[in-house]
A and B are shown apart, each in its own frame.
Chain A
Amino acid sequence: MTYRTFAVFVSFLLAGAVPAAAQDEPARDQGGLEVGVEEMESGGLTGSVSDDSDWQDLGLAISTFATDRDVPTRASAGSTAQLGRALSRIISDNLRNNGLFKPSGPAGLPQPSYDQVAAPDYSAWSLRTTDMLVQGYVRANSDGRLAVGCYLYDVALRQQLGKAGWLVAPGDWRRAAHKCSDMVYARLSGESPFFDSRIAYIAETGPKDRRIKRLAIMDSDGANHRYLTSGQATALTPRYSPDYKSLLYLSYLDGTPSIYVYDLAEGRQRLVTRSNNPTFAPRWSPDGRWILYSMAISGNTDIYRVSAQGGQSQRLTSAPGIDIGGSYSPDGRRIVFESDRSGAQQIYVMKADGTGQRRTSFFGGRAATPEWSPRGDQIAFTHIAGNLRIAVMRPNGGGLRHLTDSWQDEAPTWSPNGRILQFFRTRRNSGEAAIWQVDLTGRNERRLPTPVGASDPAWGPVRP
């Protein structure tokens, strides 16, 4: 990964790059992206579009990003002009596909000139009943990197609501579109961003009884897809580390199901613990310092904690039966997990050191694969009562709500902002699996595009 080349684009560059902007921007814009972010959060719009049902009706236009000079680049999208079109399409798709907005453009909309990016033609846009307008530019930097600027305007108020800019390596050009999507989404909804994030999952091919399962990763919109294992050994249940530098996953590499820590930069992996016993269900702590895994000894499975650096494991559960999984609260102080100590799979909460274990799910059926929301206010899980369905409840066990209703939906994973859940849906008989997502209100259910069958999604945090 090339985090280092993804530098914050200092805003004097932004102003300097767009001549019209240089005159218009007040002095407060001289502090770089961080200042810009603070402006956004303290801005006056929060709340005015906070009702989900109203977002759809917002006249949001995404115009083609302009360029000062159409020159070739090393980005896969092509020249700077081609990049401008591709960036605006990605932003439009991001905002549309997640059911948040119904944006228009970039096709069928006027294309602002480079000089208009920071000085929009408000009169023309208001005639098109545009409420909110996204403009931007892309420029080839002399060092080979790309400068991308992103502006959000309230057309009726004739006011700039937000702007941000980034310098990206050519291979990371899509990230600028995701960062811009995040800025627009966060500014309009008041929610935290989530588009600039990645997903680890298991790619599935072949018949049901000899299915090939490979570890794979992709961007939140399915782009930059990559297989990490060959499929010779079955791979299951990956989890991205919070810094995206490594993955935990289960592999049958040596015949016994075992958890490995896969280093993405090195392309190497190590066992999470040296043991002849099988290990399952790996999880990270939110700060990336701890790894949870479950280990079966003579058929009895318990949850263990080990430092991400390695060393001695600490056993957290000891009840007879299957204690498995585990998901940390955002503050890292509690763990929600699954246990059948009462006779069937139910959800329990304990302190991070394993003390204070108590059951929280007390409704019909079984409850499995609990995942704590990054916002801390909900637990997502698989509710098994006849069919398998994705459900949420409060951490204390109240407020049960089903979000899906299909034959077999399981293993929810939260978007970084805790507003959307991904899971995998299995088809009856064929066993074909695909990743789907649904938002916290139970709406906007959709299938994610993947090259082949897909299961075990794990959504990582917003990238640094």
Chain B
Amino acid sequence: MPTPHIFSAKQVSAVLLIAGSLALSACATKAPKELPPEPGPVTTTASAPQPLGPAPGSQADFLATMMGDETIYFDTDRYNIDSADAAALNKQAQWLLRYPGKRALIEGHCDERGTRDYNLALGERRANAAKNHLVSIGVDPSRLTTVSYGKERPISLASNETAWARNRRAVTITTD
């Protein structure tokens, strides 16, 4: 049997980073598109010179470039790509076209206010909606895979409209 493997350490840290930045904002129906900048790499003035910024083409570089646009958000029970989602996906596509050797996994998620089976299918539909948009801009579909986590992996833990809006999302994670 293959080794069970759901999140890499890299993916977990990426999710936590998103969670941290989202927690600073508030919005009633749609999660905000303007997020505080990601915290940069830790630098100390006393030590030897460190390379500035993440390695080009890395997941860290993708996150630093996207500044929150690696995630798009959906209304309750919906999976359509609105203009804000399209802008974010266009930005993702530009990065992916700049680094043609990279692949991407698109995670689909739902809020907790639905039944488990349906949310698994809905998360898959959301991830595919994001994928289809990237493909329509020219990203090779063979570079893109999807996975649904249904309501299993919330990033906002409260049970209220704000938290649910943040959890109804599709997250793009780049891989080698």
Contacts and interface: CB of A to CB of B under 8 A. Distances in A.
Interface of A: 207-209, 211, 213, 230, 232-234, 236-237, 250, 252-257, 269, 278, 280-281, 294, 296, 298-301, 322, 324-325, 338, 340, 344-345, 368-369, 382, 384, 388, 408, 410-411, 426, 428-429, 431, 455-456
Interface in B113-133: 113-118, 120-122, 124-129, 132
Contacts of B120: 236, 250, 257, 278, 280-281
A388 to B, nearest CB: 7
Contact of B148 (A257, A369, A428): A257
B152 A211 contact: yes
Contacts of B125: 296, 299-301, 322
Contacts, number: 114
A369 B147 CA distance: 22
Contacts of B158: 429
A298 B125 CA distance: 7
B117 A325 contact: yes
B117 A429 contact: no
Contacts of B122: 322
A34 to B, nearest CB: 40
A323 to B, nearest CB: 9
A369 B77 CA distance: 16
Contacts of A338: 117-118
Interface string B15-41: 000010000000000000000000000
Contacts of A208: 154, 157
A426 B124 CA distance: 23
14 contacts: A209-B154, A211-B152, A233-B6, A255-B6, A280-B120, A280-B121, A298-B128, A299-B125, A299-B127, A299-B146, A325-B117, A338-B118, A369-B115, A388-B115
Interface residues of B, number: 36
B124 A296 contact: yes
A322 B121 contact: yes
Interface string B43-56: 00000000000000
Nearest to B130: A299
B155 interface: yes
Contacts of A211: 152
Given A208-B154, A209-B155, A429-B157, A299 B129 contact: yes
Nearest to B114: A384
A68 B12 CA distance: 63
Interface in B72-114: 77, 79, 112-114
B115 A368 contact: yes
Contacts of A254: 2, 5
Contacts of A236: 116, 120, 152
B159 to A, nearest CB: 4
A233 B128 contact: no
A345 B114 CA distance: 10
A234 B152 CA distance: 9
Contacts of B1: 253, 269
B107 to A, nearest CB: 11
Given A232-B4, A298-B128, A429-B158, A382 B115 contact: yes
Nearest to B7: A210
Given A208-B157, A237-B117, A431 B112 contact: yes
B118 A345 contact: yes
Given A252-B6, A429-B159, A431-B157, A384 B121 contact: no
Given A294-B121, A296-B148, A411 B6 contact: no
Nearest to B154: A209
List the 3 closest A-B pairs by CB distance, nearest first: A299-B128, A233-B4, A232-B4
A318 B148 CA distance: 21
A325 B116 CA distance: 11
B153 interface: yes
Contacts of A431: 112, 154, 157, 159
A236 B153 CA distance: 13
B4 A253 contact: yes
Nearest to B167: A209
A299 B124 contact: yes
B131 to A, nearest CB: 8
A411 B132 CA distance: 32
Given A296-B121, A322-B125, 14 more contacts: A213-B152, A233-B4, A233-B6, A236-B116, A257-B147, A278-B148, A299-B125, A299-B127, A338-B118, A345-B115, A368-B115, A369-B115, A369-B117, A431-B157
